[in-house]
Amino acid sequence: MRIIPAIDIINGQCVRLTKGDYSTKKVYNENPLEVAKMFEDVGIEHLHVVDLDGAKAQHIINHNILESIASKTNLQVDFGGGLKSDEDLKIAFESGAHQVTGGSIAVKNPAKFLNWLEIYGADKIILGADCLDQKVAIQGWQEESDKEVIAFIKEFVAKGVSYVICTDISKDGMLQGPSFELYETILSTVHPVKLIASGGISTFDELPKLDNLGCEGVIIGKAIYERNISLKQLETYQLNRS
């Protein structure tokens, strides 16, 4: 299972929200590149970067930070937040994104999302399936759709999606543990899928449990920044897995 730290960006700063609520913003570092290098120094190879300004504005904004991280580290970055147009995607990949995540676009304009999948391939396009009460949430989690999350994932996997990031919004930033039951249900009913768990990670002990469920990756945010999980623990985990 890949360990994927998260860097969420507002106004060029590394921040975390609680349950996606912008009013709960907490700034952890004013230099996202510095944070990225810190992860790279302990053997982390992957990074999840979310352009929260872009998610709100509905177009890419913080591509300069993506470019800085991609050009000055060897981290493979998956980038999301507000990617709505072909131009947004072009900018993201030209700025160094290894993968991009599309969530709202898959709900609002599935034809465009599937076109991206066809053009760039299943290894480059991640389906963002973030949910509240098992309904897919969109527009930077500010709006709930009528899409049931498991049916939504099934629909797109049947059309060629490989990678899926699923965040239970009710867990995100709460440091109370992830949605093990939801992930178990997805993994037992959707085949094949490379499921990346996100939201609620609170202790190191949860990582082997997610691995045993069959998650392909796990995104960790606040648990690292609040030091519930140490970089040393992640370094040791990576070494033991290699």
Secondary-structure breakdown of the chain: helix, strand, coil percentages, each rounded to the nearest 5: 40, 30, 30
Q: Say how far residue 140 (Cα) sits from the centre of its chain.
A: 12
Orientation angle between helical segments 86-94 and 63-72, nearest 10 degrees: 30
Q: Around Cβ 74, how many Cβ atoms within 10 Å?
A: 7
DSSP letters along 29-60, please? Answer: ES-HHHHHHHHHHTT--EEEEEEHHHHHHTS-
pLDDT of 21: 87
Tokens of 16: 């975390």
The whole-angstrom separation of Cα 44 and Cα 213 is: 22
The whole-angstrom separation of Cα 7 and Cα 107 is: 24
Identity of the amino acid at 58: Q
> What are the residue boundaries of the structural domains of the chain, listed by start?
2-241
Computed over every residue of the chain, the mean pLDDT equals 94
CATH 3.20.20.70 given to domain 2-241 = yes
The whole-angstrom separation of Cα 17 and Cα 173 is: 6
Tokens of 44: 């982390």
Residues identified as active-site: 8, 130
The model carries a pTM of: 0.95
Looking at the predicted structure, is the pLDDT value of residue 12 above 60? yes
Tokens of 104: 């709202």
pLDDT of 145: 74
Looking at the predicted structure, is the pLDDT value of residue 37 above 90? yes
pLDDT digits (tens, 9 = 90+) for 84-134: 999 999 999 999 999 999 998 999 999 999 999 999 999 999 999 999 888
The whole-angstrom separation of Cα 161 and Cα 134 is: 20
Looking at the predicted structure, is the pLDDT value of residue 61 above 70? yes
pLDDT digits (tens, 9 = 90+) for 162-213: 999 999 988 988 889 999 999 999 999 999 999 999 999 999 999 999 999 9
% of residues, the chain, pLDDT over 90:
85
pLDDT digits (tens, 9 = 90+) for 44-53: 999 999 999 9
Cβ neighbours for 43, distance < 8 A, ≥ 6 positions apart: 234, 235, 238, 239
